[in-house]
Amino acid sequence: MGLRTQRRFDLIEIEVCRARAAPSLSAAKQFQKLPNLLKMRLMQGSLFAFGPFVLDPAAGTLLRDGVPVALGYRALKLLEAFAERPGEILEKAALMDAAWPGMAVEEGNLTVQIAQLRKLLGPTADDREWISTVPRVGYRFTNSVEQFGGVTRKPVIPPDRPSIAVLPFVSISNDPKQATFADGLTEDLITDLSRIQGLSVIARNSSFAYRGKAVDLRTIAGDLGVRYLVEGSARRAAGRVRINAQLVDASSGEHLWAERFDRDLDDIFAVQDEVIGKIVEALQGQLRAPPPRNRPRNIEAYDLCVRARKLMDDSPQAAREAHLMLTRAVALDPDYAEAYRWLAMNHWMGWVHANGPTEASRKMALELAQKAVAIDPISAGCRWILAYLLAYERNFAEADREFATAMKLDPNEADTWAALSDITILAGRAEEGLAHIQKAFRLNPFPASWYYLALGQAHYAVGAYEAAVETLRREETYRTSSRRFLAASLAQLGRLDEARAEVELFLVGNPHFTIGHWAATEPFRDAATLAHFVDGYRKAGLPE
CATH 1.10.10.10 placement within the chain = 14-148
Alpha helices in 129-216 (DSSP H): 176-194, 204-207
What CATH number matches the domain at 163-282, 3.40.630.30, 3.40.50.10610, 3.90.550.10, 3.40.30.10? 3.40.50.10610
Least confident of 67-76, 480-489, 495-504: 67-76
**pLDDT bracket for residue 6 (50, 70, 90):** very low
CATH class of residue range 411-544: mainly alpha
Q: Which residues contact 512 (CB under 8 A, 6 or more apart)?
A: none
Smallest CA-to-CA distance from 66 within 48, 54, 76, 82 is with 54
Most confident of 23-32, 153-162, 401-410: 401-410
Specify the pLDDT at position 458.
92
The CB density around residue 8, as the number of other CB atoms within 10 Å, is 13
Alpha helices in 45-175 (DSSP H): 73-84, 92-99, 107-121
Specify the pLDDT at position 312.
74
Structure confidence by residue, pLDDT tens digits, 87-113: 777 888 888 888 887 676 778 888 888
CATH 1.25.40.10 placement within the chain = 294-406, 411-544
Smallest CA-to-CA distance from 80 within 50, 44, 42 is with 50
Specify the pLDDT at position 377.
92
Structure confidence by residue, pLDDT tens digits, 8-28: 323 222 122 222 223 333 444
Specify the pLDDT at position 214.
67
Does residue 502 have a pLDDT over 80? yes
Does residue 535 have a pLDDT over 90? yes
Q: What is the mean pLDDT of residues 110-135?
A: 85
Most confident of 19-28, 30-39, 505-514, 527-536: 527-536
Q: CA 204 to CA 201: how far, in whole Å?
A: 9
Specify the pLDDT at position 153.
47
Looking at the structure, give the CATH architecture of the domain made up of residues 14-148.
Answer: Orthogonal Bundle (1.10)
Q: CA 317 to CA 262: how far, in whole Å?
A: 38
Structure confidence by residue, pLDDT tens digits, 404-440: 999 998 888 899 999 999 999 999 999 999 999 988 9
Q: What is the mean pLDDT of residues 333-361?
A: 78
Q: What is the dihedral of CA 317, 506, 206, 288, to 10 degrees?
A: -90
Q: Is 26 helix (H, G, I), strand (E, B) or coil?
A: coil
Specify the pLDDT at position 189.
86
Smallest CA-to-CA distance from 90 within 25, 8, 15 is with 15
Specify the pLDDT at position 40.
43
Alpha helices in 393-526 (DSSP H): 396-409, 414-426, 430-443, 449-461, 465-472, 483-492, 496-509, 515-521
Smallest CA-to-CA distance from 27 within 83, 68, 81 is with 83
**pLDDT bracket for residue 445 (50, 70, 90):** confident
Greater pLDDT, 397 or 213: 397
Mean confidence (pLDDT) of the chain: 79
Greater pLDDT, 425 or 312: 425
Residue 465 in contact with residue 488, Cβ under 8 Å?
Answer: no
Specify the pLDDT at position 450.
84
Specify the pLDDT at position 4.
37
Instruction: Give the distance from CA 491 to its chain's centroid.
Output: 29
Least confident of 163-167, 228-232, 379-383, 475-479: 475-479
Q: CA 177 to CA 416: how far, in whole Å?
A: 29
CATH 3.40.50.10610 placement within the chain = 163-282
Specify the pLDDT at position 477.
62
Specify the pLDDT at position 286.
58
Q: CA 488 to CA 499: how far, in whole Å?
A: 7
Residue 239, Cβ density class (10 Å: 0-12 exposed, 13-18 middle, ≥19 buried): exposed
Q: What is the mean pLDDT of residues 287-293?
A: 65
Indicate the helix (H) or strand (E) that contains 345: helix 337-349
Looking at the structure, give the CATH architecture of the domain made up of residues 294-406.
Answer: Alpha Horseshoe (1.25)
Greater pLDDT, 261 or 291: 261
Q: CA 333 to CA 305: how far, in whole Å?
A: 11
Specify the pLDDT at position 495.
93
Q: Which residues contact 544 (CB under 8 A, 6 or more apart)?
A: 514, 515, 516, 538
Q: Is 171 helix (H, G, I), strand (E, B) or coil?
A: strand
Specify the pLDDT at position 151.
43
**pLDDT bracket for residue 508 (50, 70, 90):** confident
Specify the pLDDT at position 58.
66
Does residue 351 have a pLDDT over 70? no
